[in-house]
Amino acid sequence: MSGAAPDAEAADGTAAQPRRLVVAAAIVDSLDRPTSMLCARRSAPAALAGKWELPGGKVEPEESPVAALHRELAEELGVQVRLGPQVPADDGADWPILDHLRMRVWLAEITDGAAAPLQDHAELRWVGREALEDLDWLEPDRPIVRALRDATA
């Protein structure tokens, strides 16, 4: 149906489920004076392996987005963080990403632990904001990375 919101109705006319939420962190060296960001290179699945992304993952049923983000960062990187502001899309909404998901992104700063690629990532790298766009990001992350670069200027 033309004019319908993309997630309002599936192609077969049945009601579609809202996009499932993924939460992710743009971990910076300092929330007060950010100069670099912790970027993560995926190790799986094969179709995404080698691409760079923001650490995070899917919110489980009954879990709050913020709790999910803290859980994912502890599991994947072994760190505790303090969250800064969210970085939304231009329309103020979550970012559309792969697999018909949507992603909510927060700036964050490590408060405990030394980040290590414990799960899901082959490599972690601190990247200066000027070089962020040089990485081979997952395609939906490109506009997000541009917004993060602006948000940390």
Ligand X SMILES: Nc1nc2c([nH]c(=O)n2[C@H]2C[C@H](O)[C@@H](COP(=O)(O)OP(=O)(O)OP(=O)(O)O)O2)c(=O)[nH]1
Chain residues binding ligand X by CB under 6 A are 22, 24, 53-54, 56-58, 97-99, 101, 103, 120, 138, 140-141
Give, for 147, the enclosing helix (H) or strand (E).
Answer: helix 141-151
The minimum distance between CB 137 and ligand X, in angstroms, equals 8
**3-state secondary structure labels for all residues of 54-79:** CCEEECCCCCCHHHHHHHHHHHHHCC
Q: Which residue is nearest to ligand X (CB)?
A: 57
Q: Which is nearer to ligand X, 75 or 130 (CB)?
A: 75
CB of 120 to ligand X, least distance (A): 6
First to last CA, the chain: 41
Residue placing its CB nearer to ligand X in the complex, 59 or 110 = 59
Nearer to ligand X, 56 or 84 (CB): 56
- Of 1 and 140, the one with the shorter C-beta distance to ligand X is 140
Distance CA 23, CA 54 (A): 9
Q: 19: which DSSP letter? A: P
